[in-house]
Amino acid sequence: MKKILLIATGGTIASHSGKDGLIPEIGAQGLLSCVPEVFDFCEPSAIQIYNIDSTNVTPAHWIQLATAIREHYDDYDGFVVCHGTDTMSYTAAMISYMVQHSPKPIVFTGSQQPIDKEDTDGRINLRDSFLYAASETASDVVIVFQGKIIAGTRAKKIRTKSFNAFTSVDFPSLGVIRDGKIVQYITTPKQDEPEFYLELDDKVGLLTLTPGARREILDEYFRIYDGVVLSGYGTGGIPEGEYYGFYEVIESWEKKGKTLVVTTQVQQEGNDMNVYRVGRGLKNRFDLLESYSMTYESIITKLMWILPQTKNDDEVRELFYKTVNYDLIG
């Protein structure tokens, strides 16, 4: 049987109710004890690297998680990471970049209700995650949640309370798990060896535009961050003209070597800045990056992965448009 390591990080699945709300308190062994049936099809072990609400996750936690996977990589056939749902999409995307082309599966899961509650979704999610991690078809970074198998760069949380909390954005689920059986729609080719990256640039920020947004806000983002993700309207439209003055701000910071990615606030179908003048004018004037169908989570974490490696515009562009775990489509 395959050896699977459970890496516990906290989240709702590990929480108890306290006077101030849910608090992660259940440890790795406690989580494992809730799904004794997994011992029938794999050899599970468990470690705890931190126990936090995922709202409090930082890039330092991502480095700690990737380091733990690297340290235990040769000893196990797969990994299950228990994580809070609120930032699970960010963490799954980040680990997709920090541990690339893993022939061994790295499966993220969690729950909308604590695992020790009678009506929890935690037990089935955790059981399904072990089942997938122990399968022959699994590889790379995925989220397994409510029967869906989602590539780590395509997932987004779309519901705050319902069990069906995650969807795969602009890309089909890799498969589903029904009645303890895996139905694999898309099989990721397995590589010989993973590539580990343990450096991140946490100075990447997302600015979502609203009508009347002030140029001073964009200027401050560029001052603070090495990379700015600017989320515009529709197909990637960014306001032009004297009222906003965004072009002048972007021009001044481009000369100082800052990286700009333009994306859209619309969740489905991505952006295409060539459709309207308010997109094409900006794209033709500046050396910016266009996100196309990438999710917010993937854009932000990919820049964090890229910028410690290089600040050269051509090299940043090459790495940004390198497809990793289905993050860029077509």
* Catalytically annotated residues: 12
Q: What is the DSSP letter of 208?
A: E
Answer for the pair 83, 126: CB distance below 8 angstroms, yes or no: no
Number of C-beta neighbours around residue 212 at 10 A: 8
Answer for the pair 149, 175: CB distance below 8 angstroms, yes or no: yes
Answer for the pair 123, 35: CB distance below 8 angstroms, yes or no: yes
DSSP labels, 16-27: EEETTEEEE---
Q: What angle do CA 30, 155, 27 make, to 5 degrees?
A: 10
What is the Cα–Cα distance from 150 to 86, expressed in whole angstroms? 16
Q: What angle do CA 145, 306, 200 make, to 5 degrees?
A: 70
Q: What is the DSSP letter of 291?
A: -
Backbone angles phi, psi at 206, to 5 degrees: -110, 125
Handedness of CA 30, 32, 34, 40 (dihedral sign): negative
E strands in 113-200: 141-145, 148-151, 155-157, 166-168, 175-178, 181-184, 195-196
DSSP labels, 90-138: HHHHHHHHHEET-SS-EEEE--SS-TTSTT-SHHHHHHHHHHHHTSSS-
Q: How big is the chain by its Cα radius of gyration, in Å?
A: 20
